[in-house]
Chain A
Amino acid sequence: MKRPFEIIFAILLIMSSLQTVHATPGSEVFDPSFGNMTAGASAFATAFYNYSVFQECVSDPDCGMPDDPGSGFEIGAGSCCDENNDCFNDFERHVDRIDRALATLYKNERTYALIMKIQGARMTAMRGVGSMSAPAAAIVARQEIDIAKAEQDFTDNFNNKTLANISKLNDFLLELDTIIDDYCADTDWYQRNGLPLYLHARMKFPK
């Protein structure tokens, strides 16, 4: 063992070269396909969310306009703000935020309906199995209780989340009222525009 350092060096070099062979063809060959796949999945998910918002808005007579189903609600700032570019720009910016909050409520509404639909289908399928024999009926009866409980838990969670989202929406509306008040005194904007939207959300979304 006169030259231990050279031996160690040689071993390390061999290990390095073995690793190089082992890594072929290498992640760089596959990575683009992974990126394409995730981008496609994200596009699909976005399309699903957007489509859900659209469907829910159209099916709500207060949201979809009869002459233009995709238009949704209209909301005005009032004549004083209309004349002032700064005011109207601020108004539009805040309306965008309120629009996103409302869209979330409509999207979640659609998701709730779809989940309830699939739970209903499962319950029907189980009852079909349960009608075949007495022992099966006993098992199905127990499972029905579990499904009903799961549904109730889901509805409770949905309501909690929905009420929190509606509260946020109301905060945004009150904020906008303050901004319009800064530009134009005594507009009662919230009473005329914000409150009806808040009440609509409060009536429509919680189960």
Chain B
Amino acid sequence: MRYLTYFLALGLVGLLAAGNDVYAQSNENIVKDYRNDVDGDPDRPTRVRLKAQAGVDMGRMAGVWGTLGGDDVADVFFLGKTPDFARMQFDLTALEGSSAMAIVTAKNGDEIVRYQIEAAIGETKTVWLQLKGKILVQVIQPELHSSSSSSTQLTYALYFWYPGDTIDALSETEFDNVEDYKGREKPRVLHAVKGVAK
């Protein structure tokens, strides 16, 4: 019985130390495609639901931690359908292996709009898009599609962030102003002065 306890304890320690990824609460809304391959067929996309995320103060987000390579030539995700134009941020990083490309498609009735976001190895591309209709995102290795050579495995991270209605309501100029406002301190509405205030 003593041996049994000893072996079970050893095995348990081995399991905990080696295998189970313990993810912090802060990044749980992530599709982990490197574990379970996502389909590359645009007709069978993986549904990604944007949710509130600790550390992101506005709106909802989701992400994909994925790999491509060998027979796995594409990953396709369906983000949902928006009745009005929605401003979304797409954040693509090609972490290892090769460059990455995300093709964002918004289908609104007969109207189809496509955008391409490409990131070189080690690079992050952050792009804001205004989209209406059904939104699909396909991730590919651009080198593989431009030549017949076999590719190395790509490891990529892709994040989707919808900050909400208030950002949709900004005009283009206002939106650009907010972008330029990054890093500025909160303006003072009230100042303490000596003497009699104005």
User: CB within 8 Å of B: which residues of A?
Assistant: 4-6, 8-9, 11-13, 15-20, 22-27, 29-31, 33-34, 36-38, 40-51, 53-54, 57, 63, 65, 70-77, 79, 82, 88, 91-92, 95, 98-99, 102-103, 106, 111, 114-115, 117-118, 121-122, 125, 193, 197
Contacts and interface: CB of A to CB of B under 8 A. Distances in A.
Contact of A48 (B126, B165, B178): B178
Chain B's interface: helix, strand, loop or mixed, by majority?
mixed
Interface of B: 3-4, 7-8, 10-12, 14-15, 17-21, 23, 26-27, 30, 34-35, 53, 55-58, 61, 63, 65, 67, 84, 89, 91, 93, 95-96, 124, 126, 155, 157, 159, 161, 163, 165-170, 177-179, 181-198
B145 to A, nearest CB: 23
Contacts of A6: 7
Given A99-B189, A114-B169, A47 B19 contact: no
Nearest to B11: A12
A79 B195 contact: yes
Contact of A34 (B18, B30, B167, B195): B30
Contacts of A42: 55-57
Given A42-B57, A114-B170, A5 B197 contact: no
B191 A73 contact: yes
Chain A's interface: helix, strand, loop or mixed, by majority?
helix
Contact of A44 (B11, B157, B163, B186): B163
A117 B169 contact: yes
Contact of A8 (B11, B91, B126): B11
A75 B21 contact: no
B7 A5 contact: yes
Contact of B181 (A19, A47, A197): A47
B18 A16 contact: yes
